[in-house]
Structure 1
Amino acid sequence: MTQASDTIRLLLIDDHPLVRDGLRLRLETVPRLEVIGEAANATAALAFLQECLAGHPQGNTLPHLILMDLNMPGMGGLALTAQLHEQYPQIAVLVLSMHDSAEYIVQAVKAGARGYLLKDEPAQEIVTAIHAIMAGRMYFSASATIHLSETNAPAILLTQRERDVLRHIARGHANKQIAQDLNLSVRTIETHRLNIKRKLNIEGQAELIKYVVEHRNL
């Protein structure tokens, strides 16, 4: 998002139509939020994203953020989050789940989610989370934050791809070289850099290198 006035495009993924209907009705009352699609499972969600790219290869019609349940038939939410993080790193994922254990929360964030809320949270909490994530922050419900504080986060929250990128950064490699080595686009590497900074709450290359030195088992 480049301006606060931009409309945030949302995709809802949940296998329960009533849940999707409720989310759509609530979110579409909020200015500058637009639900552009719904999906009941991973296959439908990935097909929707491909349709977006087919019409606009530059990704101008892709959702900015996906609200996703973890329990779905077929490919589960964790696997789908990981695939989205790999194929569409520019799209933020906000998990809405009934699971409040640290294991689920950590796995979701390691897969690439930028936020985690429980399904019984007030609707306004979802809106707050969406705006926070679009402003470049991560967002967790109060209970999720408590569970994360009991782990050795944020070190364990990096995805494998983010760890690969961070190792290259620590070696002083520029984005272009990292992109070539990992067979990714420069834009994707830039997105991974931003995600790493969000998760580690650090700024600048010097701090990134310091982090890797202090966490050699990364």
Structure 2
Amino acid sequence: MDSASIRIALIDDHALVRDGVRALLEMVERFKVVGETGCGKEALTLVERERPDIVVMDIGLKDINGLELTATLKQLHPSLKVLILSMYDNQEYVSQSLRAGASGYVLKDAPSREIVSAIEVLAVGGRFYSSDIAEKLASSEPQQEAELTPRERQVLLMMAQGLNNKAMARELAISVRTVETHRLSIRRKLDIEKPADLMRQAMEHGWSPELDARPE
């Protein structure tokens, strides 16, 4: 097997969904689907046996909640990346997926390119959320918006989208050092130390770069 390939397992209790996702992923040369199942118990065995890099997980499994299974898999295999692929677009499920240890959340009716992009981002240690999820979260009222500058809200949202410092600097046309300064300021203002908690803040409050595109 090519050392650069990305090993993927599919966990969804609808065979037609698995068939469609597998067909899509197998069109990408680097992707290798190493197994699939619709059962949570079988998923534990599958991951132990095949050791995939990424699991594409449905929430509504018949024998166990997909978020509970995500948490269990992350405890057993900390390096495993989990991408939630779900029909549910409510904010609470997204927040629960973060707490369970998932690194991404994509809707089943999202464009196929989002699933491919999500896997590529997760494979290099990033996070990815469906554009529809980001738009829905952006419609909620930020609880701490007044504490952050428009630029800090941009940086926080980009962190939630999985961008690293260099990518954020390029996107915002600022230096990497300035990005690092903004990140430090965000942590101080929100009294948050862990990067995962910063990601959660961005996803829960949904700050939108389109709303805050004006320069400082």
TM over 0.5: yes
- Displacement after TM superposition at 1:41 (Å): 1.6
Are 1:94 and 2:92 an aligned pair? no
What is aligned with 1:50? 48
Given that 1:13 and 1:69 are in contact with CA atoms closer than 8 Å, whether structure 2 keeps it comes out as yes
| 1:76/1:146 CA distance change after superposition, 3 Å | same
What is aligned with 2:206? none
Pairing 1:109-128 to 2, within 5 Å after superposition = 109-128=98-117
Question: Which of 121, 132, 138 lines up with 1:143 in the alignment?
Answer: 132
Question: Which of 82, 105, 108 lines up with 2:71 in the alignment?
Answer: 82
Are 1:66 and 2:55 an aligned pair? yes
Among all aligned residue pairs of Structure 1 and Structure 2, give the percentage whose two residues are the same amino acid.
39
Question: Which of 5, 8, 27 lines up with 2:6 in the alignment?
Answer: 8
What is aligned with 1:192? none
Partner secondary structure for residue 30 of structure 1: coil
Q: Which runs of 4+ in 1 moved over 4 A?
A: 198-203, 210-213
Q: Structure 1: give runs of 5+ residues left out of the alignment.
A: 53-61, 154-197
Given that 2:59 and 2:84 are in contact with CA atoms closer than 8 Å, whether structure 1 keeps it comes out as yes
| 1:213/1:15 CA distance change after superposition, 3 Å | closer
Paired residues in the alignment total: 162
Q: What TM-score, normalized to structure 2?
A: 0.64
Listed one character per residue, the Cα deviations across residues 100-130 of structure 1 (whole Å, up to 9, x for unaligned) are 0101111111111100010001211110111
Given that 1:105 and 1:148 are in contact with CA atoms closer than 8 Å, whether structure 2 keeps it comes out as no
Partner secondary structure for residue 121 of structure 1: coil
Are 1:108 and 2:97 an aligned pair? yes
Partner secondary structure for residue 72 of structure 1: coil
| 1:51/1:136 CA distance change after superposition, 3 Å | closer
Amino acid at match of 1:64: D
* Equivalent-residue separation in structure 2 for 1:128 and 1:215 (angstroms): 29
Partner secondary structure for residue 131 of structure 1: helix
Q: Structure 2: give runs of 5+ residues left out of the alignment.
A: 145-161, 166-178, 198-216
Amino acid at match of 1:38: E
Amino acid at match of 1:79: E
Given that 1:9 and 1:36 are in contact with CA atoms closer than 8 Å, whether structure 2 keeps it comes out as yes
What is aligned with 2:27? 29
What is aligned with 1:189? none
Calculate the aligned-residue CA RMSD, in Å. Answer: 3.4
Partner secondary structure for residue 55 of structure 2: strand
Given that 2:9 and 2:47 are in contact with CA atoms closer than 8 Å, whether structure 1 keeps it comes out as no
